[in-house]
Structure 1
Amino acid sequence: MGEHLSVSLQPQPVLTTDRLILRPLLENDAAVIQQALSDRAIGDTMISIPHPYPPGAASAYISRQQSAFEAGEAVVFAIEQAAQQQFIGAIEIREIDQEHLQAELSFWLVASAWNQGYMSEVLPPILQYGFLDLGLNRLYAYHMARNSACGRMLRNKGFVQEGVLRQRVRKWGVFEDVVLMSILREEW
């Protein structure tokens, strides 16, 4: 008989790095998320975050994420600076595919936290969680082609470019290319 693998969601852990705490989203994160995602700079390079960010959208997002976690479809971590106990972003393992053992990574940081190496620090424990705790075989991520810093960071963490989705998204009336990158458990 063939080996049967499946993704298993246990209670969501808290992961830590030297400077960061990766924890479940909480209802009281809504105000800071609402403010952060209202920043046009974040909306500019995010495929699925609208600008302006609608009032009440952060509370609805947290509620959806909690339901998605309970259904085994997604896990989202708040990214918090440990020393300051300050929320600076989020990273999701979403669209968990139980049959093919793959999922998408999606992440964002507040603009004041850009270019400080936080996402490079976040990815190792998230990859470990995805591959070992969730039992995934493949994690993939999309980024807008013009966001070369994101592509560089993913490549530095072992992701391989699979392709370019030409004019995949329309952002403020302009069609833009999107890059698809992935990492396999055997490459990690």
Structure 2
Amino acid sequence: MMEMYTDRLKLRLVEPKDAEPMERLVNDREIARTTLGIPHPYPPGSADAFIQRRQEAAKKGDGFSFAVLDRQSETFMGIVGLRIDPSHHHAELAYWLGKAYWNQGYCSEAAKQVLRFALEDLKLHRVWAAAMTRNPASFRIMEKLGMKHEGIFRGHVLKDGVYEDLTYYALLRSERT
């Protein structure tokens, strides 16, 4: 099993046992309103299907979704993932944490470890991420990771009946310090 550690966190590939705590945490309007692919309410049973898809992606090397766990208690806190495009040697970085874990540096800590995995272990050329412009906490994480702002796509996605602007950041392996 693939595992990574930081000072406070354990990251491992998502497993079926994560479905219940994942659904409990992600079924929060505050999380759904600023994430691109999470609906509210979160449909019961959807975590099982998500985990199965992400396990299949990991087997094929198309992506990795890591459960973010408290290192001591192994409490499930959220997910940091990579969706890989092998033909271009790049990946999209995405993340969410349960609201109880916001503003404590956990997401930056976990995302930094996954970014290191992408660029050093997987030897990807580029990792990029996007956030709604009205979610500065998300793109501040990208900035803390050393990612460079690449631009804003105006009215790029439709979320809850509203067209949202997305801001994009990326880091090339050659830029990693």
TM-score by length of 2: 0.95
Matches within 5 A, 1:72-151: 72-94=61-83, 96-151=84-139
Give the corresponding residue for 1:163: 151
Larger radius of gyration: 1
Amino acid at match of 1:74: G
Quote the Cα distance in structure 2 between the aligned partners of 1:120 and 1:43: 19
**Counterpart-to-counterpart distance in 2, 1:141 and 1:69:** 19
CA separation in 2, counterparts of 1:107 and 1:123?
7
Q: RMSD of aligned C-alpha atoms? A: 1.1
SS at match of 1:186: helix
Q: Is the 8 A contact 2:80 2:111 kept in 1?
A: no
Contact persistence 2:81–2:114 (CA under 8 A): no
- Give the match for residue 41 of structure 1: 30
Quote how far apart the aligned CAs of 1:133 are: 1.2
Q: Distance in 2 between matches of 1:61 and 1:101?
A: 24
Q: 1:59 aligns with which of 48, 63, 66?
A: 48
C-alpha distance in 2 between matches for 1:122 and 1:35:
20
2:171 corresponds in structure 1 to: 183
Match of 1:154 in 2: 142
Mark the runs of 5 or more structure 1 residues left unpaired by the alignment. Answer: 1-11
Give the alignment's TM-score, normalised by structure 1: 0.90
Identical aligned residues as a percent:
40
The CA distance in 1 between the partners of 2:112 and 2:30, in whole Å, is 26
Q: Are the equivalent residues in 1 in contact too, given 2:31–2:96 (CA < 8 A)? A: yes
4+ residue segments displaced more than 2 Å: none
Displacement, 1:37? 1.5
Uncovered stretches (5+) of structure 2, i.e. residues with no partner: none
Structure 2: which amino acid aligns with 1:182?
A
CA deviations 1:134-184 (Å, max 9, x no partner) are 110100001010011111221121111111111112222221101111011
